[in-house]
A = this chain, B = another copy of it.
Amino acid sequence: MLIPIILSGGAGTRLWPASRQAFPKPFMSLGGSPLLQQAIERGMACGTEEVMIVTNQDYLYLTKTLLKDMPDQPHASYLLEPKGRNTAPAIALAALACEATYGKDAVMLVLPADHLIPDTESFVTNVLEAKRHALQGQLVTFGISPTTPDTGFGYIEVEKTARTAQKALRFVEKPDLVTAQEYLATGRYYWNSGMFCFTAGTILDAFRAHSPEVLEAAQTTMSHANTTGEVTKFEAHDFNIQPDISIDYAVMERANNVTLVPAKFGWSDVGSWPAVANANTSDTNGNTFLADVVSVDTHDTHVQIESHTAKVVATIGLENLVIVDTPDALLVAHKNAAQKVKNIVDALKTRKHESTILPAAVNRPWGTYATLKEESGYKVKRITVATGQSLSLQYHHKRAEHWVVVQGTGLVQIGDTEHTTQPGEHRYIPLGEKHRLTNIGEEELVLIEVQCGGYLGEDDIVRLNDIYGRA
């Protein structure tokens, strides 16, 4: 039994403004599909339909929507954290859940949800090799052969320069450049990919031996968890006892039964805009244009537009830049300094700037909305509702709403009356009146909403009934 454990989270900082706190890297599309979807497919390619996803409870609906779109749907279970802590608690909780469901011999394949691995075949070969070691009681880590003295990764030392599976001697934290260069020269160091393979029993034994406090906290939290169907949710007051510690530090650096399997596959953690550029195919000038770009004398430049409306980008005389445009934020950065996007996000967070939190299009359990225009006294939104989905029955204290359906068929409840509403038809929701919108058609429902009122915050919503349990 092989269970991919997908660790799906992130701060949405390093790839801002495309990623946001409420839309971190796993949900970003790279190479055609969201990274989280690719991670799940990669795990399933190893011969399983079972997947366990450890993620923040805020991302549950976004994740479920994403899974629903997958051609081959996994049988997914969820561990929902109230906040991101670190890898050791996440893996300890997943190990307890695995042991309880599948037994202690179940093989856990721990995969961060935001890596890019184009070569699935080599990945599967490596995983099957790792699985053999895991079944022999090893804690298996996948090492990436370093191509540069990168100071952004942890390194793992082995004994022999041979690129074969062998005992991991030592885990080291992110080194300085000189040290990284020394590591590279020896030929005995690998990048720590953050991917692991072990049985539930082996990792639980390892926690018991090397970090019993992590295991005990996980056991306590798990004993208070609320499980409904495939979803296990931890409340904040139960979860907060988890120590903020990585699996490397809690277990890997201390254990004596760690085997490193050298990755035979290409790998990127796409942890920066230059890494995103590298993950895309470039044109003859080294440019990676994910947009409608007209360029003159432009080289090695990455352009990406995240927008619902058509927009052209003109570049003249540029070299080694990253340009990322969204409706509410534009980033222009030199590739050599792109890691300083963190400083930008920090500065904007002190201003509580919304572009650090919400993406320009917001995902909800029932669909999406995007603000087209907001000025004093009114707000215009484009709202989509997926087939069969429904917004909560709700009312507002401070605003009236005009709805014009522009695609699909909606059922609009106003007060106690329901109105089937077709494209081109308008409904008016008076201030204080209860109302609900449901997509009763076969295609996506698209609606233009004009809110009118003195206060138009998202928090002016009283939910009377909600099929997603938010009332």
Is A341 among interface residues, defined by CB-CB distance under 8 A? yes
A-B pairs with lowest CB-CB distance, top 8: A317-B337, A317-B334, A316-B333, A378-B406, A424-B452, A314-B344, A372-B372, A404-B450
Is A374 among interface residues, defined by CB-CB distance under 8 A? yes
- Interface stretch, picked from A128-136, A161-169, A191-199, A318-326, is A318-326
Number of this chain's copies in the complex: 2
Is A297 among interface residues, defined by CB-CB distance under 8 A? yes
Q: A372-B372, A380-B372, A426-B428 are in contact. Are A316 and B294 (CB under 8 A)?
A: no
Cα–Cα, bound, A400→B337 (Å)? 51
A296 CB contacts on chain B under 8 angstroms: 337, 340, 343-344
A321 CB contacts on chain B under 8 angstroms: 318, 332
Instruction: Mark contacts of A337-349 with chain B using CB atoms, 8 A cut-off: 1 yes-contact digit, 0 otherwise.
Output: 1101101100110
CB-nearest residue of chain B to A310: B328
A337 to nearest B CB, angstroms?
3
Give residues of chain A (144-193) contacting chain B, Cβ–Cβ below 8 Å. Answer: none
Pairwise interchain contact B314-A330, C-beta atoms closer than 8 A:
yes
Cα–Cα, bound, A415→B51 (Å)? 62
Pairwise interchain contact A294-B424, C-beta atoms closer than 8 A:
no
A426 in complex: contacting residue of B312, B329, B341, B402, CB < 8 Å: B402
Is A311 among interface residues, defined by CB-CB distance under 8 A? yes
Is A448 among interface residues, defined by CB-CB distance under 8 A? yes
Is A432 among interface residues, defined by CB-CB distance under 8 A? no
Is A446 among interface residues, defined by CB-CB distance under 8 A? yes
A417 CB contacts on chain B under 8 angstroms: none
Known: A312-B355, A316-B343, A380-B448; 17 extra A-B contacts, CB below 8 A, are A294-B347, A309-B327, A310-B328, A312-B330, A313-B330, A314-B332, A314-B341, A315-B332, A316-B332, A316-B341, A332-B332, A372-B380, A378-B446, A400-B424, A402-B402, A406-B452, A424-B452
A344 CB contacts on chain B under 8 angstroms: 294, 296, 314, 316
Q: A311-B329, A330-B311, A406-B452 are in contact. Are A423 and B377 (CB under 8 A)?
A: yes
A353 CB contacts on chain B under 8 angstroms: 312
Is A375 among interface residues, defined by CB-CB distance under 8 A? yes
Is A257 among interface residues, defined by CB-CB distance under 8 A? no
Q: A313-B330, A332-B313, A332-B321 are in contact. Are A423 and B452 (CB under 8 A)?
A: yes
A297 CB contacts on chain B under 8 angstroms: 337, 340
* A327, A372, A407, A448 interface centre (most CB from chain B within 10 Å): A448
A452 CB contacts on chain B under 8 angstroms: 404, 406, 423-424
